[in-house]
Structure 1
Amino acid sequence: MSNIKRWALATFILCFLVIIAGGVVRTTQSGMGCPDWPKCFGKWIPPTNASELPADFEKYLRKQDIDHTFNALHTWIEYINRLLGVLLGFFGLVQFAMLFFKRKEFNKPYKLAIAFLVTVILTGLFGAVVVKLNLAHASISVHLLFAIILVQVQLALLLSLNKKLFSIRVDNKVRQLLFIFLILLFCQSVLGTMVRMYVDDVSKTLHYEQRETWLAQSPVAFLIHRSFSWLILVSALFIAWHCRNIQAIKNKIFVLAAIIVLSMITGVVLFYANMPAVAQPIHLLLAALALTQTVAVLLQIKPGSK
């Protein structure tokens, strides 16, 4: 049993590593580092320099709306991102196998393991769509959504294994507040996605240079996203204050509030420090953590609490 729990925890952590890798791919403009899928320049192990490219390498670049040059760094960043996705699939498969032999004893975790494995496969297959569509805005957003769903499914599995799923009784008002907060977080994430789309378009026209100008025009989506962050912060602090005397969840809520504060700080850094590349994946990671922490508390609260 302990081996299953440890494996499930490792799989949960790996989900976030995959999200970080995806963020690094975006911030380094490495999304088309491998212009074909599932291979990379027609190879299972991509080239490390131009001399290793296949004779017909132009056919891979020509079909994409990108600069027809080879960048080994971009290629390997994207390739490592793919390898992490494959590794996550392997972890999901092993997790399924471990729970398969204990499916009668752990029926709910077993079903969640199936759901996780299916979602991993769908996420990987959708990666091919992202490449085929040449990193179209909608495809990138859907791919990220798949990753977020993966985390939540694995979270539910982990809580189920540890007997924490729907185990805490609290005032039903707390559950309602958290549901509203989750909706607000989702809306903020959508706004953030819209800002990312705008930045992608502007940065591309500037050949990914002059980072200080990427948000110089202050698009409406950014202004709303920035203002909405204050509502998110006030809401998080209010929930923390409301739950200050509820021993079972107060620490979890304080952690959530801390994540929101850190997320706002990285947002400020992105705007006032000219969009530093390192801050982008961190901002994405903190957004994913905020959603996950909120869902984690909700999954531990017993439905129909007093």
Structure 2
Amino acid sequence: MTNSRLINSNDNNRLFRRLALLTVVVVYLLILIGGIVRSTGSGMGCPDWPKCFGSWVPPTEVSQLPPNYQEIYGAKLKGEIEFNAFKTWTEYLNRLFGAFTGLMIFATLVASVSYIKKDRPVFTVSLLTFLLVGFQGWLGSKVVSNELAPWLVTLHMLLAIVIVFFLLYVVARTYVGNIQIEKIGNKTLLNRWLFITIGLSLIQVLIGTQVREAMDVVTERLGNERRTEWIDNLGLSFYVHRSFSILIMILHIGLVYWLKKNIVTKGVLSQLTMVLLIMVGVEIISGVILAYLSVPAIVQPIHLTLATLALGLQFVIGLLINAKVVFTQNSVVKSSPINV
């Protein structure tokens, strides 16, 4: 009977880990889709919220709108509204995927109920994540009602990163006893290096949002026909962002070096840091493409998503390095068959 319960518990834990990990993937896909919305200028494809042009299913052609639709929605958008089916449906699909993401996070919360007794922080953080998603949905409505105010767009993205961090904490906490983590000799040095790397990477992302906001101003002023001039008109924030990327790369190379120098056994951390280094390298390459190939729209969401992926991976690496300190619940640490 005891063995049967243990098997059922292990199966439930495995299912929860997979669900939580899948939810993280879905959130990152939503960030990617959000980047596509921004890069294609589709953020106001639906000028109202939660409906789109007053309907739950948006129109596919202008004939489906009332003749005076520009009067209805144009005042809010400074009279510049022009129906574009591609932009409308791009934004609408973004909203639908956002709703699906909310359902996935709710499913994770429901599944985490089984952890209330055996590992309460899993349930607590899952609940906080769900509440934050509700706030994120409200904030999204304010982004629309305030006509894509830059500071609201930035806040919306930062909150998405916080939600990802919460989910990654849950995933890491439930995986700790099921993966091999290296023993590390000098954690103090490694932690300091990682802390600096995460801090400066976050600053780099914030500078990137300033570049993105400057890009919106430039594109509106110059238009698509002068696309080759966009980069030259971005101002100081772009040059700081571009130069800062060199420091970010050096920090990640140093992270890989210090980890290899201080590990005693083999494990997942070495693999994660190498993936992180490659990811940062690809992100820098995508930045070069944006700068020298007239900001191709397809590369912009990739650049943003890679930045948030890198931050998430840094966060997970930090959690795993300090697993014994961060995950104090005895069901996580004591049940682990490995030294963490």
- Settle same-fold status: TM greater than 0.5: yes
* CA displacement 1:236-255 (0-9 Å, x = unmatched): 11121122242342222111
Question: Please, what TM-score do these two structures have when normalized by structure 1?
Answer: 0.94
* Structure 1 residues 263-284: Cα deviation after superposition (integer angstroms, max 9, x where no partner): 1100000011110111100100
**Partners of 2:115 and 2:122 within 8 A in 1:** no
The answer (yes or no) to whether the contact 1:99–1:106 under 8 Å persists in 2 is no
> Match for 1:288: what amino acid?
T
Gaps of 5+ in 1: none
Residue 7 (str. 1) matches residue 27 (str. 2): no
| d(CA) in 2 for partners of 1:232, 1:163 | 28
Residues 19 and 66 of structure 1: CA distance in aligned 2, closer, same or farther (over 3 Å): farther
**Aligned counterpart, 2:5:** none
Pick the aligned partner of 1:127 from 140, 148, 153: 140
1:276 corresponding residue in structure 2:
296
Give per-residue Cα distances to partners, 1:65-101, cap 9 Å, x unaligned: 3622100100000001111110011111111112224
- Greater alpha carbon shift after TM alignment, 25-34 vs 208-217: 208-217
1:88-237 → structure 2 map (5 Å cutoff)? 88-163=101-176, 169-170=183-184, 171=186, 172-217=188-233, 219-237=235-253
Which aligned segments of 4 or more residues in structure 1 are displaced greater than 3 angstroms? 303-306
Q: 2:218–2:233: 8 Å Cα contact kept in structure 1?
A: no
Q: How many Å apart are 1:116 and its aligned residue?
A: 1.0
Distance 2:212 2:289 in 1: 15
| Aligned match of 1:261 | 281
Q: Is the 8 A contact 1:9 1:158 kept in 2?
A: yes
Matches of 1:298 and 1:66, distance apart in 2: 49
C-alpha displacement of 1:187: 1.2
In 1: Cα distance, 2:25 partner to 2:58 partner: 27
Question: Separation in 1 of the partners of 2:105 and 2:306?
Answer: 24
- Letter matched to residue 124 of structure 1: G
Change (3 A) 1:85 1:66: farther
Once structures 1 and 2 are overlaid, which stretch shifts more, 138-147 or 62-71?
62-71
Question: Aligned equivalents of 2:280 and 2:53: distance in 1?
Answer: 41
Report SS of the residue matched to 1:276: coil
**Greater CA radius of gyration, 1 or 2?**
2
Against the structure 1 CA distance between its residues 56 and 100, is the aligned structure 2 distance closer, same or farther, given a 3 Å change threshold? farther
Q: Contact conserved, 1:191 with 1:221, CA < 8 A, in 2?
A: yes
Distance 1:57 1:66 in 2: 11
- Contact 2:21–2:171 (8 Å) recurs in 1: yes
How many angstroms does 1:226 deviate by? 0.8
1:300 to 316, 320, 334: 320
Could you say if the C-alpha distance between residues 161 and 304 of structure 1 is closer, same or farther in structure 2, counting changes exceeding 3 Å?
closer
- What RMSD in Å do the two structures reach over aligned CA positions? 2.1
Aligned partners of 1:50 and 1:70 also within 8 Å? yes
2:150 is matched by which residue type in structure 1? H
Matched position secondary structure for 2:252: helix
Q: Structure 1, residues 276-301: CA drift from partner, whole Å, max 9, x if none? A: 11110010011011111110101112
Alignment partner, residue 53 of structure 2? 41
How many equivalent pairs are there?
A: 306
Length-normalised TM-score, structure 2: 0.85
Other structure's SS at 2:47 match: coil
Q: 1:251 to 1:202 in 2, by over 3 A?
A: same
Q: Counterpart amino acid of 2:26?
A: L
Do the aligned partners of 1:178 and 1:294 also contact (CA within 8 Å) in 2? yes
**C-alpha displacement of 1:304:** 6.4
In the aligned structure 1, how far is the partner of 2:177 from the partner of 2:128? 19
Question: Where does the alignment leave 5 or more consecutive residues of structure 2 unmatched?
Answer: 1-11, 327-339
2:82 to 69, 72, 77: 69
Letter in 2 for 1:43: S
SS across alignment from 1:35: coil
Of all paired residues, the percent bearing the same amino acid is 34
Q: Is residue 37 of structure 2 the alignment partner of residue 25 of structure 1?
A: yes
Letter in 1 for 2:207: L
- Find the residue that maps to 1:149 and give its secondary structure: helix
2:270 equivalent in structure 1: 250
**Structure 2 CA distance for aligned equivalents of residues 54 and 85 of structure 1:** 28
Q: Distance in 1 between matches of 2:107 and 2:234?
A: 47
- Asked if the contact 1:164–1:300 (Cα under 8 Å) also holds between the matched residues in 2, the reply is no
| SS at 1:162 equivalent | helix
Offset, 1:190: 1.4
Where does residue 288 of structure 1 map in the other structure?
308
Closer/same/farther in 2, CA of residues 168 and 125 from structure 1, 3 Å limit: farther
In the superposition, relative to structure 1, how do residues 96 and 208 fare at CA in structure 2: closer, same or farther (>3 Å)? Answer: same
